[in-house]
């Protein structure tokens, strides 16, 4: 059934590198795109290497002067057209992602809404992205923002539609051209996006080279004509990309891992507890737990611990584990057997070193024999445990009991990451104090995952460098050029004429 559905969706049998608005013939090795839940074959994708990256970078370099010369309003118009096209094709694209990565349609639909809004946001933001100026003695200083040129971008597999938008939208809005490498586990929707790009953008502005990190990714980050690097993924690979940028002295922006605290204070209104439980559940289980933003460490106060835990367990048990193509909220499968085994290993560690509250087993879903489905899993543990310190990237929540505020702040910050945090309280003074003291780039008060266009998204510590999702992102994709003007040359003074 999945194969027939793939054909109905109009997937190509094989995808090559997308360069100059065309898919290039595949001459070498390919890798297979398979449905995460069923294991059925969806398409073959070129395993790009240095030659493909070279062609893509040169195409982007050729396109750069004309693209840069457009007025911001003109570039914005292209982005609006792409957003329109994405919205028109959203039902098809979200199904492609659901098949490819195993997340439910209810989630991938949200992805495309966010993606389209990002193209529109940066279409608007670029029109008002000014430099600055001021008078100087006998003249005037103008500081203008200019694009870097060709940007090399690498995105992960968990939310490909959003990740492509977060990279492409600000870069091209600012006047850059891009070469983007999608993850080998989730390339289909980015390659399908190229079909829309080809109908809208000039050739060479947006290019895509699918493949593996050690091949296409390494060639892209090392390419001497790539003027800016951007990467989203693990901290370990982020270090490699950062070193590649340092070797060539080009700017690098990184959005990396997270192990985010989600804190419940004892003063929460009893009327709101059910809603808070639901939000805590969502924070940890959304994206099948495969999110760098996930609220994976729940700090729960002694005074409300037992009642809250009882409600939390009931909430987790209500989650429907199902075929990702089913309608409605559900927990789908993990991206791949490799990721499934990783999560399974962490659950085994939890069973030996922590207290299992609920879940902890692999689930069986009819018709989805290849899928790695897991029950929503909750452990009681300490902040020093591996479960609480390491990014699992699966539907696993660590619950930590607290009763001392200063110790809470210490433990919440006592991880190598600093991407996000959440807290629930009716005491706004305490909420603001806590938000200030948490070492996280995003702190959400009384609503986890409260991302809005224009809200900076970036991390502290090992969670990254730079911010996406906001106007500041345009500064990451441009550099300042200072131009000073005077009405006439100063009188001679250094070597005056006699």
Please state the separation of Cα 38 from the chain's center in Å.
25
In whole angstroms, how far apart are CA 396 and each of 182, 336, 346, 460?
Answer: 26, 17, 9, 23
DSSP state at residue 177: E
Closest by CA to 318, choosing from 286, 290, 281, 275, is: 281
Give pLDDT tens digits for 362-417: 999 999 999 999 999 999 999 999 999 999 999 999 999 999 999 999 999 999 99
Could you tell me the pLDDT band of residue 5, with boundaries at 50, 70 and 90?
low
Closest by CA to 186, choosing from 246, 233, 127, 252, is: 233
Residue 374 Ramachandran class (φ > 0 left, ψ -120 to 50 alpha, else beta): beta
Give pLDDT tens digits for 443-462: 999 999 998 889 999 999 99
Q: What is the mean pLDDT of residues 259-285?
A: 98
Give pLDDT tens digits for 277-332: 999 999 999 999 999 999 999 999 999 999 999 999 999 999 999 999 999 999 99
Residue spans of the domains in the chain: they are 2-256, 261-445
Please state the separation of Cα 285 from the chain's center in Å.
17
Q: Indicate if 292 belongs to the active site.
A: yes
- CATH number 1.10.3720.10 is the correct assignment for the domain at 2-256: no
Structure tokens at 367: 């018709």
Q: What is d(CA 79, CA 102) in angstroms, rounded to the nearest whole number?
A: 28
Asked if residue 184 has pLDDT above 50, the reply is yes
**Residue 133, SS3?**
strand
Closest by CA to 287, choosing from 190, 193, 156, 417, is: 156
Tell me whether the CATH fold assigned to 2-256 matches the one assigned to 261-445. no
Q: Would you state the pLDDT for residue 493?
A: 87
Q: Would you state the pLDDT for residue 1?
A: 41
Give pLDDT tens digits for 55-83: 999 999 999 999 999 999 999 999 999 99
> Can you identify the CATH homologous superfamily of domain 261-445?
Aldehyde Dehydrogenase; Chain A, domain 2 (3.40.309.10)
| Catalytically annotated residue among 48, 194, 292, 333 | 292
Asked if residue 46 has pLDDT above 50, the reply is yes
Could you tell me the pLDDT band of residue 7, with boundaries at 50, 70 and 90?
confident
Structure tokens at 77: 């118009």
**Residue 321, SS3?**
strand
- Classify residue 182 as exposed, middle or buried by CB count within 10 Å of its CB (0-12, 13-18, 19+): buried
Q: What is d(CA 212, CA 182) in angstroms, rounded to the nearest whole number?
A: 9
| Catalytically annotated residue among 255, 375, 391, 468 | 255
Rounded mean pLDDT of the chain? 96
Q: Would you state the pLDDT for residue 3?
A: 54
Asked if residue 205 has pLDDT above 60, the reply is yes
Asked if residue 176 has pLDDT above 60, the reply is yes
CB 363 within 8 A of CB 382: no
Q: Strands 377-380 and 355-358: what pairing?
A: antiparallel
Q: What is d(CA 283, CA 293) in angstroms, rounded to the nearest whole number?
A: 8
């Amino acid at each position: 059934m999945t194969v027939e559905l793939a054909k109905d969706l109009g997937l190509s049998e094989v995808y090559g590198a997308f360069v100059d608005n065309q898919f290039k013939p595949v001459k070498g090795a390919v890798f297979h795109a398979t449905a995460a839940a069923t294991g059925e074959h969806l398409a073959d994708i070129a395993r790009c290497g240095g030659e493909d990256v070279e062609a893509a970078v040169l195409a982007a370099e050729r396109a750069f002067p004309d693209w840069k010369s457009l007025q911001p309003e003109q570039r914005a118009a292209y982005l609006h057209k792409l957003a329109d096209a994405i919205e028109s094709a959203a039902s098809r694209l979200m199904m492609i992602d659901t098949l490819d990565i195993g997340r439910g349609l209810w989630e991938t639909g949200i992805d495309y809404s966010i993606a389209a809004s990002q193209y529109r946001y940066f279409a608007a933001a670029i029109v008002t992205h000014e430099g600055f100026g001021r008078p100087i003695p006998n003249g005037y200083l103008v500081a203008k923002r200019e694009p870097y040129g060709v940007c090399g971008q690498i995105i992960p597999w968990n939310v490909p539609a959003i990740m492509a938008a977060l990279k492409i939208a600000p870069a091209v809005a600012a006047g850059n051209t891009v070469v983007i490498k999608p993850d080998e586990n989730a390339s289909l929707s980015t390659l399908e996006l190229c079909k829309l790009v080809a109908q809208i953008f000039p050739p060479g502005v947006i290019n895509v080279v699918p493949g593996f990190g050690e091949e296409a990714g390494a060639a892209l980050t090392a390419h001497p004509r790539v003027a800016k690097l951007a990467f989203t993924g693990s901290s370990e690979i982020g270090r490699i990309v950062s070193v590649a940028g340092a070797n060539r002295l080009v700017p690098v922006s990184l959005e990396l891992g997270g192990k985010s605290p989600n804190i419940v204070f004892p003063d929460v209104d009893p009327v709101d507890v059910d809603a808070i439980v639901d939000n805590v559940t969502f924070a940890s289980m959304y994206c099948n737990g495969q999110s760098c933003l996930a609220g994976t460490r729940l700090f729960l106060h002694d005074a409300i611990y037992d009642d809250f835990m009882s409600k939390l367990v009931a909430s987790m048990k209500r989650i429907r584990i199902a075929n990702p193509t089913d309608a409605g909220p559900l927990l789908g499968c993990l991206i791949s057997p490799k990721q499934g085994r990783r999560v399974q290993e962490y659950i085994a560690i939890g069973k030996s070193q922590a207290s299992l509250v609920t879940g902890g087993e692999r689930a069986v879903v009819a018709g989805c024999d290849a899928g790695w489905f897991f029950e929503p899993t909750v452990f009681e543990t300490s902040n020093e445990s591996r479960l609480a310190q390491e990014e699992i990237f699966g539907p696993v929540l660590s619950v930590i009991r607290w009763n001392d505020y200063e110790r809470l702040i210490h433990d919440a910050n006592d991880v190598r990451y600093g991407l996000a945090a959440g807290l629930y309280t009716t005491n706004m003074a305490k909420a603001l104090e806590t938000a200030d003291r948490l070492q996280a780039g995003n702190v959400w008060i009384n609503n986890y995952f409260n991302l809005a266009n224009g809200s900076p998204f970036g991390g502290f510590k090992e969670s990254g460098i730079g911010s996406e999702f906001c106007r500041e992102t345009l500064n990451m994709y441009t550099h300042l050029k200072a131009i000073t003007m005077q009405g006439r040359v100063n009188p001679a003074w250094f070597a005056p004429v006699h």
